Amino acid sequence: MGDEVVFYSSPMSRGRIVHWMLEEVGAPYRFEVVNLETKDQKKPEYLAVNPMGKVPSIVHRGTVVTECGAICAYLADAFPAARLAPPIDSPARGTYYRWLFFGGCSFEPAIIDRMLSRPPASRPGALAYGCYEDATETLAKALTPGPCILGRDFSAADVYIASQVAFGMMTKSLEPRPVFQEYTSRLQQRPAYKRFMEKSDQLAAQMKKAS
């Protein structure tokens, strides 16, 4: 079985996180465009891949993986030569998992609730992130030592966290603190990020021309 990753996504979706990750690991991949405007994500062909009808999804070595955080973690382990995850027996592995899951379980829900102007919960303890202020302050403190979430070593957790931080600032659901601005600006200088952006822009232009 080949090592190609089949990548189902739209260039204007959370799939951008995975697209960046694919460029970082150097995996051979085929981008299968799922046009969200024409509801491709709800067609039987795609629902057979991801019954949730959401992007992104990947298929690799016959296995379907969904959810951005899970895909980033999977790709880091599937392509270890890229060194985007600490070794299994490294103490840093726990810290890596901590921030990777913090991104999906606490930080993203906090900024999405803020973006949608959802009122504060009457019982903050019932929310995975507690409150917006705690989630953002916790991340700011973690990023302050820099240059990456694990210190000197860039990892899949940075792909995930930096993508969410950039999205939060773009949508004005996250205040543009210097620590957030410097972190995203630094990582967006990576060659893999620039390759992903160029390819993503080309795909978006092709989709616009075809519509």
pLDDT digits (tens, 9 = 90+) for 67-86: 999 999 999 999 999 999 99
pLDDT at position 126 is 84
Question: Is residue 133 a part of any domain in this protein?
Answer: yes
Peptide bond into 56 cis (omega under 30): yes
Neighbouring residues of 14: CB distance < 8 A, sequence distance ≥ 6: 55, 56, 68
Burial annotation 13-41 (CB, 10 A radius, 16+ → b, else e): bbbbbbbbbbbbbebebebbbbebeeebb
User: Does residue 180 sit in the same domain as residue 197?
Assistant: no
List strands edge to edge, sheet with 57-60.
Answer: 29-33, 5-9, 57-60, 63-66
Q: Are 74 and 133 members of one domain?
A: no
In this structure, what CATH number is given to the domain that contains residue 154? 1.20.1050.10
Share of the chain above pLDDT 90, in %: 88
End-to-end CA distance of the chain: 35
Report the alpha-carbon distance of residue 90 to residue 173 in Å, rounded. Answer: 35
Provide the pLDDT for residue 94.
97
Nearest residue to 160 via CA among 106, 124, 201, 79: 106
Residue 163 in this model has a pLDDT that exceeds 70: yes
Residue 209, pLDDT score: 82
pLDDT tops 80 at residue 211? no
103, 163: one domain: yes
Within a domain: residue 120? yes
Whole-model pTM over 0.85: yes
On the question of pLDDT at 13 being above 80, the answer is yes
60 lies in the same domain as 149:
no
Domain count for the chain, please give it: 2
State both tokens at 129.
């992130």
Which 8-state DSSP code applies to residue 126? G
Enclosing domain of residue 35: 5-83+192-203
For 46-62, how does the pLDDT look when each residue is reduced to its tens digit (9 = 90+)? 999 999 999 999 999 99
- Per residue in 120-155, pLDDT (tens digit) is 877 878 888 989 999 999 999 999 999 999 999 999
Same domain, 136 and 78: no
CA distance 128 to 121: 11
Residue 181, pLDDT > 70, answer yes
pLDDT at position 39: 96
CB-based contacts of 130: which residues, under 8 Å, 6+ apart?
106, 124
Long-range contacts formed by 148-155: CB under 8 A, 24+ apart: 148/187, 149/99, 150/86, 150/92, 150/95, 150/96, 150/99, 153/86, 153/92, 154/84, 154/187, 154/190, 155/76, 155/84, 155/85, 155/86, 155/96
